A and B are shown apart, each in its own frame.
Chain A
Amino acid sequence: MDYATKKLAEEKVFKDPVHRYIHVRDQVIWDLIGTREFQRLRRIKQLGTTYLVFHGAEHSRFSHSLGVYEIVRRMVDDIFIDMPEWDESERLVVLCAALLHDLGHGPFSHSFEHVFDLDHEEFTRAIILGDTEVNHVLTRVSPEFPQKVSDVIAKTYENKQVVSMISSQIDADRMDYLQRDAYFTGVSYGHFDMERILRVMRPKEEQVVIKSSGMHAVEDYIMSRYQMYWQVYFHPVSRSAEVILTKILHRAKDLSQGNYQFKQEPTHFMAFFQNNIELEDYIALDENILLTYFQMWMQESDPILSDLSRRFINRKLFKYIEFDPANEYEKLSDLKELFYQAGIDPKYYLVHDSISDLPYDFYRPGEEEERVPIQLLMPNGKTRELSRCSEIVEAISGKRRSDHKLYFPEEVLLQDGTQKTLKKQILKVLRG
Chain B
Amino acid sequence: MLEEHAKVVQFVSLAGSVTGRKKLQKMVYIAKKMKFPFNEKYQFHIYGPYSEELTLRVEELCTMGFLTEEMEDKGSYVQYTYQVTDKGTNFSNHMCEEQQHLNEVVEVLNSKSARFLELVSTLLFFDELPKEERIQKVHVVKGKLKFTETEMNEAFSLIEALEEIKLNAN
B partners with A:
yes
Taking beta carbons and an 8 Å cutoff, which residues of A are in contact with B? 113, 119, 121, 154-156, 158, 160, 163-164, 167, 206, 325-326, 329-330, 332-333, 350-352, 354-357, 359, 361, 364, 366-372, 400, 402, 404
Q: Are A330 and B87 in contact (CB under 8 A)?
A: no
Q: Are A325 and B47 in contact (CB under 8 A)?
A: no
What is the bound-complex CA distance between A364 and B50, given in angstroms? 14
Q: Are A355 and B45 in contact (CB under 8 A)?
A: no
Q: Are B44 and A154 in contact (CB under 8 A)?
A: yes
Q: Are B50 and A158 in contact (CB under 8 A)?
A: no
Subset of 11 A-B contacts with CB under 8 Å: A113-B41, A156-B44, A325-B2, A326-B65, A333-B94, A356-B4, A361-B56, A369-B22, A370-B25, A370-B47, A402-B60
Q: Are A372 and B45 in contact (CB under 8 A)?
A: yes
Q: What is the size category of the interface that chain B forms with chain A? A: 35 or more
Given contacts A156-B137, A156-B141, A332-B1, contact A354 B45 (CB under 8 A): no
Q: Are A368 and B76 in contact (CB under 8 A)?
A: yes
**Does B78 sit within 8 A of A, measured CB to CB?**
yes
The 10 closest A-B pairs by CB, nearest first: A368-B77, A356-B56, A326-B64, A352-B1, A356-B57, A367-B21, A402-B63, A369-B47, A361-B52, A402-B60
- Which residues on B sit within 8 Å (CB–CB) of A350? 1
Using A364-B55, A367-B77 as known contacts, list a sample of 18 further A-B pairs with CB atoms less than 8 Å apart, ordered by residue number in A.
A155-B45, A155-B46, A156-B137, A156-B140, A167-B45, A326-B87, A332-B1, A352-B1, A352-B2, A354-B60, A356-B59, A359-B52, A367-B80, A369-B22, A369-B47, A402-B59, A402-B64, A404-B60
Give A114 Cβ to nearest chain B Cβ, in Å.
8
- Which residues on B sit within 8 Å (CB–CB) of A154? 44
A-B CB pair tally, cutoff 8 Å:
96
What is the bound-complex CA distance between A206 and B144, given in angstroms? 11
- Which residues on B sit within 8 Å (CB–CB) of A355? 56, 60
- Which residues on B sit within 8 Å (CB–CB) of A160? 46
| Chain A minimum-CB-distance residue to B6 | A329
**Does B99 sit within 8 A of A, measured CB to CB?**
no
**Which residues 35-83 of B sit at the A interface, judged by CB distance below 8 A?**
41, 43-47, 50, 52-53, 55-57, 59-60, 62-66, 74, 76-80
Q: Are B140 and A326 in contact (CB under 8 A)?
A: no
What is the bound-complex CA distance between A362 and B81, given in angstroms? 21
Interface flags, B85-100, vs A, CB<8A=1, else 0:
0010001001100000
What is the bound-complex CA distance between A350 and B1, given in angstroms? 9
Q: Are A371 and B76 in contact (CB under 8 A)?
A: no
